[in-house]
Amino acid sequence: MPPDRDEFNRKVIEEFRANGGKVGGPFQGAPMVLVHHRGRKSGTERVSPLVYQPVGGKWAVFASKAGAPTDPEWYLNLVANPRTTIEVGGDTFQVVARTATGAEREAIWDNQKKVMPQFAEYEVKAGKRRIPVVIFEPVS
Q: Which domains, ranges and CATH numbers included, belong to the chain?
A: 3-138 (2.30.110.10)
Helix ranges restricted to H, 24-128? 73-80, 102-115, 118-126
Who has greater pLDDT, 92 or 4?
92
| pLDDT score for 4 | 76
Residue type for 97, please? A
What confidence category does residue 1 fall into, taking pLDDT thresholds of 50, 70 and 90? very low
Q: How far apart (Å, rounded) are the C-alpha atoms in residues 15 and 44?
A: 22
Q: What is the pTM of this model?
A: 0.93
